Amino acid sequence: MMEGPLLKINDLRTYFYSRSKQAFIRSVDGVRLEVRKGETLGIVGESGSGKSVTALSVMGLVTGGPGVITGSIEFMTNSDRKNLLDGLQDFVEITQENGRIMSVKKDVIGWERRSEEIMQGIRGGEISMIFQNPKAALNPFMTVGGQITEAIMLHTGIKDRKEAEERAVYWLKRVKIDSPRLRFGNYPYGLSGGMCQRAMIAMALASEPDLLIADEPTTGLDATIQSKIVDLLLELKHELGTTTMLISHDISIISRLSDSVAVMYGGTVVETGPAKDILSSSTSSKHPYTAALLASIPDDYHIREKIPLQAIEGDVLDTINIPPGCRFYGRCNRVTEKIRKRCESEEPDLREIAVGRNVRCWLYYE
């Protein structure tokens, strides 16, 4: 089923200008990713590593205010191929002095207009998104069915309201909401969090997108519901074969759903590869961050023996003053004397160490 890439993100940089600090907050800083058709790419990383901002950049939702995006996001469907960031850079003017950014001028209206132009028909149609915290992501004053119907009428050929409503009921049934006809007329407050998320998934899938972005779809739900939602996503994945970009900090969810995984740290991708390789328990040929992340998951052994979990020392990277060397250098426990100098002063590239495996670490540069 795996074919060529559907989405190819190259050197994506999404910065937010902070006026008070006179600097850019580099939320996403040089992300390179590929989502192949039919596969599920899981993106893991701790809070603030730029996962969500990457997703929002793809959706073209980083528009208002001080957001600046560079790089390219190529979106390739069977019929079409376009760069979702085409021409957006022309609307930003950055003045630099001694390497410090002095001012940023952004033609917000022009930027938004261009972004709208590019995303027309893609946003919600070819790429749709599931949000975290489903209760807040549904309009509280519109019935669940009404919202799904609206999405269907907007993005599919169905223009007849009755027919679209039938289709919405079908999708509600598809995501395993019981008595879908009754739920159709309910308002979000009348549904549980899990049901709201099912409704969100129905809404996202109703437009039959080429790419589904699930931004922490299980956050804000309790554990049993989480696992049910994951079951549902897994089932839908097998039935529909939708290409999915799954974002989560929960490695167990990623490991259940993903075909391949990208690990993010401090705004960049530090490792990509097939899920089974990256999430396996062996620590060999892995980025130290991935290894540390995996070591911080409790397993039977840790729980039985009451061994404290291994936390990653230090704090998340300050995305304003990014040090010159490796982003993980300050927290890394596998720096050898041989490479210390390079780790400190030079940033490694994302380098292919095996087929389909890329790691951004000096350890694997021999």
Partner 1 sequence: MNSYTQITGEIGEFSDLPFWKKVGIADLLYVAYGGLIVTLVIASYILGALNLLKWDPQAIDLELMMAPPGTAGHILGTDFMGRDILSRLIVGIQAYFLPGILAVSISLFTGSILGVLAGYRGGRWETAITYFTNLVDSFPRLVLILLVIAAFKPDIYYIMIVVGLTNVPVVTSLIKGKIQFLRQKNFVEAAEALGLPARTIILKHILWYNCRSLLIIQATLGMAEAILMETSLSYLGFGVQEPAPSWGNMVQAGANYFMQGKFWPSTAPALAILFTILGFHLLGDGLNNMLEGRRGR
Can residue 250 be called a binding residue for partner 1 (CB under 8 A)?
A: no
356 phi/psi in degrees, rounded to 5: 80, 0
Q: Phi, psi at residue 149, to the nearest 5°?
A: -60, -40
* Region at 15 (left for phi over 0; alpha for psi -120 to 50; beta for the rest): beta
DSSP string for 146-166: HHHHHHHHHHSS---HHHHHH
Instruction: Pick the closer one to partner 1 by CB: 131 or 171.
Output: 131
Q: By C-beta, is 65 or 308 nearer to partner 1? A: 65
Q: Which stretch binds partner 1 (CB under 8 A): 3-11, 92-100, 147-155, 290-298?
A: 147-155
Q: Which letter does DSSP use for residue 224 in this model?
A: H
Pick out residues in 27-66 that bind partner 1 (CB under 8 A): 59, 61, 64-65
Least separation in angstroms between residue 67's CB and partner 1 is 13
Nearer to partner 1, 35 or 203 (CB): 203
Nearer to partner 1, 206 or 317 (CB): 206
Q: What amino acid is encoded at 255 in this protein?
A: S
Give helix 144-155 / helix 193-206 axis angle, nearest 10°.
20
123 binds partner 1 (CB under 8 A): yes
- The whole-angstrom separation of Cα 202 and Cα 146 is 12
| 150 makes contact with partner 1 (CB under 8 A) | yes
Which residues face 268 on adjacent strands? 265
CB of 250 to partner 1, least distance (A): 19
Nearest distance, CB of residue 186 and partner 1, angstroms: 7
203 near partner 1, judged by CB under 8 A = yes
Residues numbered 268-327 forming contacts with partner 1, rule: CB under 8 A: none
Please say which residue, 48 or 145, places its beta carbon nearer to partner 1. 145
121 touching partner 1, by CB under 8 A = yes
* Dihedral over alpha carbons 261, 131, 223, 236 (to 10 degrees): -70
Question: DSSP states of 34-66 as a string?
Answer: EEETT-EEEEE--TTSSHHHHHHHHHT---STT
User: Is 125 among the residues that bind partner 1 (CB under 8 A)?
Assistant: yes
Place of tokens 């290894």: 291
How many Å apart are CA 100 and CA 42, to the nearest integer? 35
Check residue 139 for interaction with partner 1 (CB under 8 A).
Answer: yes
What is the chain's length?
Answer: 366
Residue 12 within binding range of partner 1, rule CB under 8 A: no
Q: For residue 32, what are its two tokens?
A: 């390179």
User: Which residue stretch of 14-22, 70-78, 118-126, 312-320 sits at the interface with partner 1 (rule: CB under 8 A)?
Assistant: 118-126
Q: Is 77 in the site for partner 1 (CB under 8 A)?
A: no
Residue 172 CA to residue 183 CA, distance in Å, equals: 8
Minimum distance, C-beta of residue 206 to partner 1, in the bound complex (Å) = 10
80-89: list long-range contacts, CB under 8 Å, 24+ apart.
82/118, 84/58, 84/60, 84/118, 84/119, 84/122, 85/12, 85/118, 86/118, 87/114, 87/118, 88/114, 88/115, 88/118
Nearest approach in angstroms of CB 130 to partner 1 is 9
Which range, of 7-15, 24-32, 132-140, 288-296, touches partner 1 by CB under 8 A? Answer: 132-140
Q: Total residues contacting partner 1 (rule CB under 8 A)?
A: 36
**CB 286 within 8 Å of CB 263:** no
Which region among 12-20, 95-103, 130-138, 301-309 touches partner 1 (by CB under 8 A)? Answer: 130-138
Among 14, 27, 128, 319, binds partner 1 (CB under 8 A): 128
User: Of the listed pieces 150-158, 284-292, 326-334, 342-350, which binds partner 1 according to CB under 8 A?
Assistant: 150-158
By CB under 8 A, name the binding residues for partner 1: 59, 61, 64-65, 119-125, 128-129, 131-133, 136-142, 150-151, 154-155, 179, 182, 185-187, 189-190, 200, 203
